[in-house]
Amino acid sequence: MNGSTLRGTLERLGVTASYSRPRVSNDNPFSEAIFRTCKYRPDFPADGFESLEDARAWVHRFVSWYNTEHRHSGIQFVTPEERHSKQDLEILAKRELVYGIAKAQHPERWAASTRNWEPLGAVWLNPEAPSTVEEK
Q: Where are the alpha helices (DSSP H) in the chain?
A: 3-12, 29-39, 52-68, 80-84, 88-105, 130-135
Domain count, the chain: 2
Q: Which amino acid is at 89?
A: L
pLDDT at 1 over 50: no
Mark whether 91 and 134 lie in a shared domain. yes
Mark whether 44 and 88 lie in a shared domain. no
Nearest to 95 by CA among 80, 82, 108: 82
Mark whether 60 and 90 lie in a shared domain. no
Confirm whether 61 is domain-assigned. yes
Confirm whether 103 is domain-assigned. yes
* Average model confidence (pLDDT) across the chain: 84
Higher pLDDT, 122 or 29: 122
Mark whether 100 and 125 lie in a shared domain. yes
pLDDT at 128 over 80: no
Confirm whether 135 is domain-assigned. yes
What are 25-72's pLDDT values in tens digits? 556 777 778 888 899 999 999 899 999 999 999 999 999 999 999 999
Q: Which of 6-10, 86-90, 116-120 has the highest mean pLDDT?
A: 86-90
Mark whether 55 and 98 lie in a shared domain. no
| pTM score, whole prediction | 0.66
Domain extent for 131: 84-136
Question: How many CA within 13 A on the CB side of residue 103?
Answer: 12
Mark whether 47 and 93 lie in a shared domain. no
Provide the sign of the torsion angle of the four alpha carbons 73, 74, 77, 79, taken in this order: negative
Position 23 scores a pLDDT of 59
78 beta partners:
72
Mark whether 88 and 135 lie in a shared domain. yes
CA separation (Å) from 133 to 60, 126, 127?
36, 13, 9
Position 12 scores a pLDDT of 83
Q: Write phi, then psi, for 34 (nearest 5 degrees).
A: -70, -35
Mark whether 90 and 61 lie in a shared domain. no
Secondary structure letter of residue 72 according to DSSP: B
